[in-house]
Chains A and B, each alone.
Chain A
């Protein structure tokens, strides 16, 4: 994927992360060597689009950016090797630290709030009532358009001075002022935009809830468990694989938020760098200042951080994710 907005990956649910590598079936047909050889040929022929894309557009570029991360490069003159200068410069760069902080807050607050909203509404919709399918579709819609420029423009208009948020604040006697221009309010505004798109994880939660056998709830109810107890002791454990899946993808996605912050702040990351998300700063460094070595170093720091978080999530998941044996 060369350059497709990142936010959108999330809006779809994307594939499973735990997809296990396929078990290669033992050679069929009593071990006919010709078949095998032709299978190898056919395998690579069919795989060639993906393989070519992986080598040329993913693996190759990754290695190249790893190299660039240790150079000074501005696209016009040949890269000069500078060792770890980019990395030491990064951690002395207040704007970099600010962008890391902005992103960390967004991930640490935004993702749990969004998932809580998604789970709450999924549980609500899971009760069998009429209109469930229609509500499900309706709630999913923002996930489809949330990362678009159109929605960012609407968000900006709603949260700007004298905008709707401001009017509501004044109605309740709160201090007046738009959120867009107030460095302390831009983060809540961005998190609201993320939470507004709770539909994609909600749909996944809902599908997970439907798989929980009704007998489990009935048995727990017979044993005297109330609704809250049943939620904690039956629903949550049974839902933990889906919760893990959503947590992983929402976290990775949240690290890559870009276009809404870009539009709402008019391409600046302001006010006071309060919407300068990590990838936004990376873009500014790489594509407006053309400091491509520096931006590559930033990209690799991001890869490492996301990699570590993914590894930690997988590690800890053993303690809290319950797989129901052979059902899967």
Chain B
């Protein structure tokens, strides 16, 4: 662990002349930046390589270590945008969008309401429910996919979005409920009391007082809900079998299976297109995302 040496917070206790102190500081800064940039190169290389490869001629992608295309081409994008198996590329985008937006709406509605019950209403059994809710976060969810599939299949809901969206409206993702509970616990109880004195019931307190204040938690949850739904692969793989219901990840897989192995260009172009919304969200909301992750880890 060489990094420890360069990085432990440096309490400068020695009384050396300030010249050596600044020199040491500068050296330390140089070492820091060299190391961090080295990590950054490793982190970024696959992503940059993907984007750059999508502009290279298809035969010139695999094994071309160089990032910069020798000849630029948009052919990969035209063939990616031309769709697969008679289904337009934009159908896949639309399906992905419906699923992602539906997930956001479902999760925000169900998680805020459930979190209010956990954080603000005292009733017998609440502690047990809360412990159970936390427990579901540790549960490998593969234990429920088979019975859930049997259930939705018996209701004739395969090839619809219902099996993918219903769980979001029923707050089955404990992560979001927990995130909101934590946030609510940070809001002063006096708000509730004041609203109660003003004649609000629980619904009023929730709807008029607390919900508006929960905006940061709602935004963080929405971004994660959107991105996770957008990238989800297993769910659509199980439930969506008709190409015109495919969201992008499944379409992408179909594309990889159907195109000849050598057509890496179109694969890369489509892979890039599939990630565009995620990257946009990331660029715009990175603070929310990273801070959300950071606080969740600690409050646990």
Residues in chain A within 8 A of chain B (CB atoms): 1-6, 8-9, 11-19, 21-25, 27, 36, 39-40, 42-47, 49-54, 56-58, 60-62, 64-65, 68, 75, 120-121, 123-129, 131, 135-142, 144-145, 147-151, 153-155, 157-158, 160, 162-164, 166-168, 196, 199-200, 203-204, 206-208, 211, 214, 217-218, 221-222, 227-228, 230-231, 235, 242, 245-246, 248, 252, 255-256, 258-259, 262-263, 266-267, 279, 282-283, 286-287, 292, 295-296, 299-300, 302-303, 306, 310
Contacts and interface: CB of A to CB of B under 8 A. Distances in A.
A235 B275 CA distance: 37
A227 B4 CA distance: 7
Given A137-B290, A145-B231, A207-B297, A50 B142 contact: no
A258 B129 CA distance: 30
Interface of B is mostly: helix
Interface in B104-154: 109-110, 113-114, 116-119, 121-124, 126-134, 136-153
Contacts of B119: 22
Contacts of B129: 47, 50-51
B49 interface: yes
A61 B8 contact: no
Given A49-B171, A144-B278, A61 B144 contact: yes
A81 B53 CA distance: 54
Nearest to A73: B150
Given A39-B123, A75-B150, A149 B140 contact: no
Interface string B44-64: 101101100100000001111
A246 B297 contact: yes
Interface stretch (B16-24, B69-77, B251-259): B251-259
A300 B143 contact: yes
Contacts of B63: 162-164, 166-167
Going nearest first, the 10 A-B pairs with the smallest beta carbon separation are A16-B300, A53-B170, A3-B235, A15-B178, A204-B297, A13-B293, A43-B123, A61-B147, A46-B117, A150-B271
Nearest to A219: B11
A295 B235 CA distance: 17
Interface of A is mostly: helix
A43 B129 CA distance: 11
B88 interface: no
B233 A5 contact: yes
Interface size grouping (class) on chain B: 35 or more
Nearest to A305: B140
16 contacts: A2-B164, A3-B232, A3-B235, A5-B228, A22-B127, A24-B122, A43-B123, A50-B171, A65-B144, A128-B9, A137-B290, A147-B233, A149-B271, A154-B46, A196-B43, A252-B138
Contacts of B173: 1, 4
Contacts of A8: 228, 231-232
B201 interface: yes
B253 A39 contact: no
B13 to A, nearest CB: 6
A226 to B, nearest CB: 8
A120 B6 CA distance: 11
A13 B249 contact: no
A5 B231 contact: yes
